[in-house]
Amino acid sequence: MDLFIADCLYIDDVSEMGRGVFTTAPLEADSIIEVSPVLVMSAAERLHLDKTRLHDYIFEWGPALDQCCTAWGYISMYNHKFGSNCEYYMNFEKQIIMIRTVRNIAAGEELFINYNGDWDDQSPLWFDAK
């Protein structure tokens, strides 16, 4: 599957979060706004990645979550928020991650995903323990 990034998406600086993904146009709920191929890596490779800055930009991958991946496009640039305005879907067979809006989003808004996978999952994350 080819890379798809909606034309209205862009990356900009975010205070205290580095950078994030924003939209120049309103987005309707239930819209696929990005489809990204991924590079899948083994559990052994992840041990090395976990010692680098890339740790914060990779996703657990595979049915047993025993692998990891990095996604191309903007996927790794979406910031986390509980009750996010977008969510991501992984297709292990096609090796892609898709981003879908979960509500209407106004032009200029930052787009967030919940790093837990479910847009409304309130479970603590690895960086909450820091």
Instruction: Give the 3-state secondary structure of residue 18.
Output: strand
What is the pTM assigned to this prediction?
Answer: 0.87
Domain boundaries, given as residue ranges, for the chain: 4-114
Contacts of 55 (CB under 8 A, 6+ apart): 49
Can you list the positions of beta strands (E) in the chain?
4-5, 9-14, 18-23, 32-41, 59-61, 67-71, 79-80, 86-91, 96-101, 110-113
Asked whether residue 128 carries a pLDDT value surpassing 60, the answer given is no
Please state, in angstroms and as integers, the Cα–Cα distance from residue 123 to each residue in 64, 120, 128, following that order. 19, 9, 10
Instruction: Give the 3-state secondary structure of residue 84.
Output: coil
Query: Superfamily assignment of 4-114 in CATH?
Result: SET domain (2.170.270.10)
| Average pLDDT taken over every residue of the chain | 89
CB 33 within 8 A of CB 72: no
Asked whether residue 116 carries a pLDDT value surpassing 80, the answer given is no
Per-residue pLDDT tens digits for 28-62 = 999 999 999 999 999 999 989 989 988 888 999 99
